Amino acid sequence: MRLPLLLKTAAAICLVLVLAACDRADTASYVTSAKSYMAKSDYGAAIIQLKNALVKSPNSGEARYLMAASLLETGDAVGAETEARKALDLKYSPDAANPLLARALLRQGDYRKVVSEFGGLAPDSVGARADLGTSLGVAYLNLGDRKNARASIDGALAANPKDVRARVVLARLTAQRR
């Protein structure tokens, strides 16, 4: 009698492990598919795939980050802010999520929040420093603080002299000065 019970228990445990592995594989395939759609600028399709991934794995920081990026591209800045904050809560890379969060706040016109949350932040990566510095420059400029706007843009261009967003903001600053 004991042997069949032991076999049934072992079979049930194996089934649970196999299903859990399938869920992780499904999540990864949804994320991969979403990245493919994002590369083609098909953000609507990417959002669908990411929603599927998040149903399977709601604690996926990468899926949350990609969802934030896709939502921002489709004009949903509020949703992008929410998802970027969730990605950060899930310990997703701050160098990726913070610049995205700052851009979402800019799109909402919340310039003071951009300055207060990111004004003292020093990201590790060059790309993040340029992106965040540019967002800070835009926020300062919209708040009428040209001095800090220029300093932020100069910092962004020091991090990445070819950053297009930073160059556009620099041109705007120069045009306003003259």
DSSP readout, 72-95? Answer: HHTT-HHHHHHHHHHHHHTT--HH
What pLDDT is stored for residue 154 in this prediction?
A: 95
Q: From CA 87, how far away is CA 67, in angstroms rounded?
A: 9
Helix (H, G, I), strand (E, B) or coil at 129: helix
In this prediction the pTM is 0.83
Between 121 and 86, residue with greater pLDDT: 86
Is residue 114 within 8 A of residue 95, CB to CB? The reply is: no
Task: Write out the two tokens for 86.
Answer: 């969730």
At 167, the pLDDT band (50, 70, 90 cuts) reads very high
What pLDDT is stored for residue 13 in this prediction?
A: 65
Per-residue pLDDT tens over the stretch 67-83: 999 999 999 999 999 99
Helix axes 164-177, 126-142, angle to 10 degrees: 30
Task: Write out the two tokens for 65.
Answer: 């980050």
Residue 164: name the closest of 128, 132, 134, 141 by CA: 134
